[in-house]
Structure 1
Amino acid sequence: MPEISEHPLITDSHCHLDFPQFEGELDDLVNRAAVRGVHRMVSICTKLRLLPQVRALAEAHDAIFFAAGTHPMSAADEPLASVDELVAIAKHPKFVGIGETGLDYHYTADTKSVQQTSLRIHIEAARQTGLPLIIHARDADEDMARILREEHKAGAYSCVMHCFSSGPKLAEEALALGFYLSMSGIAAFPKSQSLRDIFAAAPVDRILVETDAPYLAPPPNRGKRNEPAFVADTARVGAEVFGMDYPKFAAQTEANFARLFDKAARWRN
């Protein structure tokens, strides 16, 4: 059993615990997280063929929930998901989100057409299941804003902009649609003041925190492998951004997570 923490409870809303960097140490990882108050984490499956491994982690650990989709950088290399396939996966009691999906034109702009098709499929699955869409966006702000807006007009759905590091216009568009912004370790980097300013302009009841582990560890562990325990370091920076003490900010992000990921909040052993 994880050790009891005296720290405020907090959730890592996005990590990748099936990645090889964590092989053989999930029990210790979950315990280290719990010691810092991180009592819940959502592990994201980025390729549907890897779903069995991710699902098994959630089934083996009370603290772990999961989501699944096709990452946009893999959209051209993996079989295109279907709405029915995603809806069927969503029946699992610990499956709590659709994605991550989205658009990434940084390295894979040549596959933008299939990325957009995949994104729209995931959006429809989010509509049908009522689960939040988990969006990855990089160097695609204009197309991302347009598609999210078009699809929301066609039928409402909920959404989080995971690891948000785009520009202020996309943030404004997402917030106007009722979506959430998730703060990763990037927001804690010393040179990320412009990003912190974007978060500071957002309603605090629309903010989540995440690690995106094993990537993007915040200070004081920048450059090292990230893990769910470190979400507390990002959240402490978030508390400063919003001028709140850490326990109050942690409680706010917990309420935000429970509102958006209500299936996870309602889950009981």
Structure 2
Amino acid sequence: MLIDSHVNLHAPQFDEDRDAVIARARDAGVGIMVEISDRVSTFEATHALAMAHPDIWCTVGTHPHEAKENPDLSAHTLTELASRPKVVGIGECGLDFHYDLSPRDVQAKVFRTHIEAARLSGLPLVVHTREADAVMADILREEHARAPFRFLMHCYTSGSELARISAEMGCWFSVSGIATFKAAEDVRALIRDMPADRIIVETDCPYLAPVPHRGRRNEPAYISHVLDKLAEIRGWSPDEARARTEDAFFALFDRIERP
């Protein structure tokens, strides 16, 4: 079974052929997809996708780009929504200082709210971080010292120091199609040092299509290319890569019953 730990099937890029995309994923051997919430305000559509398909689960949260939409978002609201069937994580949340589409102080405030919701719900936190290594490290250290929580650094492309700090807190990492890009040797170097029992894979579709599909709309059906590249980078056989990432996925997203 293949697992895509991070899909955005609610995205408008799939409006014309969403059912066909899901069917192609199944035909390619994808048995589980995690549909990621990027706005609490659109969570109903995200949750509806999960409820409509036996092989799709979802998260609840607000992406740092959208943090300004609800700066007073409460952990109670998140945990209440997270109690619904098929919700398996909190996020995607975090910090993005590359685009700064929400004020940085608002991003940090809303991120801390998601951390509290992860603690209260017991669900893993799906973290987005871009060009915010120092602030991200400070927040993670402060919050983890206050009370621990489980978290995933999704599509990790940040620095080695933040990766080290996060790994010491026991976090998971997900590898995306970026690992296949010719110019991404720095990302491959990070992947070589990730904890072997806490690596999972994702497409982040419709974004970041892996080679040989780079430049096209990404789909869950392409997850095997990411898995093959991970195996190559780590020196694992394809079967070992699949088994290791599957074990890591179910250890993290433990609300999903393993088939």
Same fold (TM over 0.5): yes
Specify the alignment match of 1:261 in structure 2: 253
Q: CA deviation at 1:107?
A: 1.3
* Residue-by-residue CA offset, 1:127-174 (whole Å, 9 max, x unaligned): 011100000000000100110111011001000001101011111111
Q: Which of the numbers 157, 166, 170 marks the counterpart of 2:158?
A: 166
2:5 to 13, 18, 25: 13
Structure 2 match to 1:190: 182
Shift, 1:247, TM fit:
1.7
Which SS does the other structure have where 2:68 is aligned?
coil
Residue 83 of structure 1: aligned partner: 75
- What CA distance in whole angstroms lies between the structure 2 residues aligned with 1:110 and 1:207? 29
1:182 is displaced (CA, Å) by 0.7
Deviation string 1:223-249 (CA, Å, 9 cap, x unpaired) is 000011111111110010111111210
Structure 1 residue 265 displacement after superposition: 3.0
Matched, 1:124 2:100: no
Distance 1:191 1:95 in 2: 36
Give, in whole Å, the separation in 2 of the partners of 1:80 and 1:217: 34
Q: CA deviation at 1:26?
A: 2.9
Q: How does 1:3-82 map to 2 (within 5 A)?
A: 9-82=1-74
Other-structure match for 1:235? 227
**CA distance in 2: counterparts of 1:230 and 1:80, whole angstroms:** 38
Question: How far off its partner does 1:109 sit?
Answer: 7.3
Amino acid at match of 2:229: V
Alignment of 1:149-160 (within 5 A): 149-160=141-152
Q: Distance in 2 between matches of 1:77 and 1:60?
A: 27
Alpha carbons of structure 1 residues 110 and 96: separation in structure 2 relative to 1, 3 Å: closer
Tell me the TM-score normalized by structure 1: 0.93
Runs (4+) of structure 1 moved beyond 6 Å? none
Aligned to 1:222: 214
Q: Percent identity?
A: 44
Match of 2:94 among 82, 92, 102: 102
Looking at structure 2, the residues matched to 43 and 96 of structure 1 have their Cα atoms a distance apart, in angstroms, of: 10
* Pairing 1:195-210 to 2, within 5 Å after superposition: 195-210=187-202
Read off the aligned partner of 2:62 and give its amino acid letter. T
Check the 8 A contact 1:12/1:211 in 2, yes or no.
Answer: yes
SS in 1 for 2:256: helix
Give the C-alpha shift of residue 199 in structure 1: 0.8
- Structure 2 stretches lacking a partner, 5+ long: none
Q: Is the contact between residue 15 and residue 43 of structure 1 (CA under 8 Å) also seen in structure 2?
A: yes
Q: Number of paired residues?
A: 259
Secondary structure class of the residue paired with 1:224: coil
Rounded to whole Å, the distance in 1 between the matches of 2:28 and 2:160 is 32
**Displacement, 1:76?**
1.4
Distance 1:148 1:265 in 2: 29
Per mean C-alpha deviation after superposition, the further-off stretch among 75-84 and 134-143 is 75-84
**Is the contact made by 1:10 and 1:251 (CA closer than 8 Å) also made in structure 2?**
no
C-alpha distance in structure 1 between counterparts of 2:2 and 2:134, whole Å: 32
